[in-house]
Amino acid sequence: MAKLSDSVRIRLSSMEPDHIDDRLLDVLTDKRMQPHFHIPVQTGSDRLLKKVDRHYTVSELSAILDRLRRVKNDPFLAADIITGLPSERDEDFAETRRFIIDQQFSFLHVFPFSPRPDTPLYKARDRVAESVRDERALELRNLSEQLHHAYRLRQVGGGAEVILQNRKGGHWYGLSGNYLDVKVLSSPAFAREGMLIKGTFGQVLGREKRMEFIPDAATL
């Protein structure tokens, strides 16, 4: 890290909860580390976490997420969730849904369960009916849309950095540090792809599923 330029921005890929330790959290305090974290949660049921050989509980996972929030203010938290894990009961799904809402994830990657070789549940016989599995997946995808919109609304008026990605119809478009698509309302004449600019989030553009971004005056 010490050898990297201050202009560099680093975004981590998926992080296993039990790999998030003090050393990693210390690295994440660096301003070059982006406030965007993707966690393969799988389920919010302790019973099912044990069944899929996860070495943490929902309570421990909550504590890890709290620590990430202390490292970065209101980070974008994405979670992988699997619906229809073998033996998943209504109570298990309700626990998962409650956990998701309590944690206010920013986005959910929802996957209906499908057996994979060399995994603990490949030969499981207590399968959930596909119709139930898919219904639960749809419910969580709808919940994800609500949570993602709520997260965008919380960013309105807040400061951010954006990397410009492409220009279309007279406007630059880019991606913020906390993984939000933005439409830049005004940009410097010398703007170029890959340029990092600072500014403030404007309104949520619902139809486009992106946000307005107003660059700082010093940038223009």
What element of type H or E holds 83? Answer: strand 76-83
User: pLDDT tens string for the chain (220 positions)?
Assistant: 667 788 789 999 899 999 999 999 999 999 999 999 999 999 999 999 999 889 999 999 999 999 999 999 999 999 999 999 999 999 999 999 999 999 999 999 999 999 888 777 777 889 999 999 999 999 999 999 999 999 999 999 999 999 999 999 889 999 999 999 999 998 777 889 999 999 999 999 987 889 999 999 766 5
What angle do the packed helices 130-155 and 90-103 form, to 10 degrees? Answer: 10
| Four-point Cα dihedral 73, 164, 211, 33, nearest 10 | -10
Token couple for 114: 């499908």
Q: Which residues pair with 181 in a beta bridge?
A: 175
Task: Point out which residues pair with 199 in neighbouring strands.
Answer: 160, 215
Q: Quick one: how far is CA 18 from the chain centroid?
A: 17
The number of helix segments (H) and strand segments (E) in the chain equals: 5, 8
Residue 142: its H or E element: helix 130-155
* pLDDT at residue 110 in the model: 99
**pLDDT value of residue 219:** 66
Q: What is the pLDDT of residue 121?
A: 79
* List of domains in the chain: 17-155 (3.80.30.20), 159-219 (2.40.50.140)
Q: Which of 55, 49, 79 is nearest to 65 (CA)?
A: 79
